[in-house]
Structure 1
Amino acid sequence: MSEFSKSLSVSASALRAQATRLRHVSENISNADTPGYRRKTVSFETARGGSDAAGTVTAGRVRLDRSALTRIYDPGHPMADASGHYDGSNVDLMIEIADAREAQRSYEANLKMFDQARQMSSSLMDLLRK
């Protein structure tokens, strides 16, 4: 595998991983007001495989955040217990927005790297044709 192909493979794997991360962040944001919803987190792992997979990354297992759910007092809510409380979600919108911004910037950086490798490969092919 050529060095250009390897660099394209590394950046493409990072693009897929960041897209997965953005998908889970958007799920967290959309379910922030869902009672009993637990925040999803995803970690990145080095891809397993031969020498061709060196440097590539994959999104790992999705994990649920085990931090305490917020207790909300609303005696009129259908899920409220005898004391008038029910479990909300453990999603903090500020953290989710910061995670989304970080994932977006990482995605853009990997996209730029992918484009640069593609342009260098194209320029090399043009030189070889002459």
Structure 2
Amino acid sequence: MTDFSSARSVSASGMQAQAQRLRHLSENISNADTPGYRRKLVSFQTALAHGDRVSNVEVGRVRLDQSELPKVYDPAHPMADQEGNYSGSNVNLLIELADAREAQRSYEANLKMFDQARNMSSSLMQLLRR
């Protein structure tokens, strides 16, 4: 595999991983008001393709945040216990939005690297044709 295609492969794997991270972040945001919902945490790991010396990025196991669920007092809620409390969601919208911004910027950086490698490869091919 050439250096240009290796660079494109690494960038593409980074974009794919960040897209998957954004998918889980959007699930967290959409379920912020769902009782008993635990936010999903995404981790990344390296994946070494057979015979390559370049590592790609992939999403590891998706875990659930094990922090304590907040108790919400609402005696009229159908899930409320005898004291009128039910378990809320442990999603913090501020953290989710900050993580989404970070994932977006990382995706954009990988996209720029992909385009740069593609442009360099194209320029090299044009030079070789002369």
User: Which residue number corresponds to residue 18 of structure 2?
Assistant: 18
Whether contact under 8 Å (2:44, 2:58) holds in the other structure is yes
Secondary structure of 1:86's counterpart equals: strand
Query: Do structure 1's residue 39 and structure 2's residue 39 form an aligned pair?
Result: yes
Instruction: Tell whether 2:31 aligns with 1:28.
Output: no
Amino acid in structure 2 at the alignment position of 1:95: I
Q: 1:53/1:96 Cα in 2 relative to 1: closer, same or farther (>3 Å)?
A: farther
**What is aligned with 1:93?**
93
Q: Deviations over 1:33-71 (max 9, x none)?
A: 000000001100010332426221100010000000010
Query: Contact 1:11 / 1:110 at 8 angstroms: preserved in 2?
Result: yes
Confirm whether residue 122 of structure 1 aligns to residue 122 of structure 2: yes
Once the two structures are superposed, the pairs formed by residues 3-82 of structure 1 within 5 Å of their partners are 3-52=3-52, 54-82=54-82
Deviations 1:46-99 (A, max 9, x none): 103324262211000100000000100000000000000000100000000000
- Unmatched segments (≥5 aa) in structure 1: none
**Is 2:101 the counterpart of 1:104?**
no
For 1:47, what is the secondary structure of its paired residue?
Answer: strand
User: Is contact 2:49–2:56 with CA below 8 Å preserved after alignment?
Assistant: no
Q: Distance in 2 between matches of 1:15 and 1:112?
A: 10
Separation in 1, partners of 2:73, 2:48: 48
Query: What's the Cα RMSD here?
Result: 0.9
Question: Contact between 2:48 and 2:55, CA under 8 Å: does it hold in 1?
Answer: no
Greater Cα offset, 104-113 or 53-62: 53-62
